[in-house]
Structure 1
């Protein structure tokens, strides 16, 4: 081979090797960028009903994540994600469609839905909510196999006054069973004025919704004993009671707590009922444990009366005392 030809061949070989080296560096750089970029493993959490799975994945889209976990979606199933792209910490929630029957105009149609509310199902089915409505509560949770009755309707507003339910203050009575409740004093219902939306179909009111309510009078709570401690205001004590007049004892009418004695003041043993505690006594009323007495020890109580005649008429008797916590 001529020297000139050999030199040309060497130059060509050097170019080839240089290009190969540069190509390798580019490949390594790309691999490095790929590792540092979006294709490295990410932790994704998948919720499918009550089932939860956590996966470490390099998948580039959420469908591949579900495929890797062998989570299959049926025709009407769907899913939503916490992020647009697969990122570390992303969440996938699978929603399984359930069959629901819609009955309208005498016809029944079964639809598969992932909607959570009755109104959502009706809207998805293409009904105009301004003209057609479900008889069932629109906010009712959808359940598999339920029936939803959709009817044409008109609406009107009605205003009226009505009695409100009586509220009962409850006291715990350990002598009662957990499911037992005994009304001690009836309450007085309050009154309110309500604005009601009535929905009419076929000449009948099929649904009513209170749009607005204004309380006119609060009423008076009733008093009830219960064998269930949860939600109670206090406890019921059976005590031996006597009566006293403000002028008894030293005659000053000043209680052990420095207040003026009178109706609504009761003397107690502070180790049983702490001073300052509010109490209720049937046929006497609300009172405050504000006084003590030498003979008032243990489950005993002394009720202050306005007159000596009241003291005499009361005498001594066993009573129930409703003690606030």
Structure 2
């Protein structure tokens, strides 16, 4: 009995172990079989590669297995529905969000590019070498990265007459001037406001202005004063007091624009030396002609030729003593200078209405009407016959100013004493 019980116990134990071993074997074979049916796949995720074995049927299943939830802008090597095959290479790159600002205009982009240069190529962005970019092309793309680009424009800078084309990324005139190291002085003029925004092909024009003070010493010509003198023969002149030129110091404010004189204004005038009038005595004494002596008749008449000769001699003597016939002209010596129609303060028209601009070669002289009447025909030594058709503030007494066609002629003429003849 004991033997039978013992045998049954052994058999029961054997059966139990047999069952355990069978279950283990079945489980092991199932595991081996399950593992053996997995596909081997090389997966590259954001640049990192690993080999995995998977039972995923599609690329989408594989991504879910890897806990990857692809977004719209992510880069996938295969369509989501594509079946997984043994030895397959798959790649997944997640996109990054970046902000790009171009001349203050900001836009958001999603990209899988690894560098800034790749992103520009991806978006087909083209930049000029003068453009200002915040990052180098080799810089890596990072999440929430900000890239700024200031696009350069070409403007024209005219600085005091020197003109050049300049590329700039400055937004305003003030920024441009600072960028180009252009400084404006107190009196300089700028054609735009400093806060104005710059645009392509704008002209920035700077007028350089200087103010200078210039002191000039000028002679003040003396005035000739004529006084009647009844002790001198009529028409005879005698200098009583010699004239002397005065001197005045004039101070001008001179405006110079871009290196050239633009204007000048008299701001101060001081008399350094007063001029002294020249006083000339003009004779008014009238001389009376002496009566001719009556020749006595000879006491005796003779038929000889001698009395005839005496008579001829007497006749000739009588002829020499007869008063000379007065000429119809008046001759005098005067001080002469020259002027042109375009002199400072001149209008080109004379006192009598002659237009010297239209008649540049016309011979006209400026006179003191008290000495030479206006409208008179006058012969001037070294100048020729002219008309007394003009007056002048400095033309007093025996002075004239002859008209010439150019400043060089006036300078060549200078100042001289000439003889003039006033014709009737």
**Is TM > 0.5 for Structure 1 vs Structure 2?**
no
The TM-score, its normalising length taken from structure 1, stands at 0.31
Structure showing greater relative contact order (alpha-carbon pairs closer than 8 Å, 6 or more residues apart): 1
Name the larger-Rg structure. 2
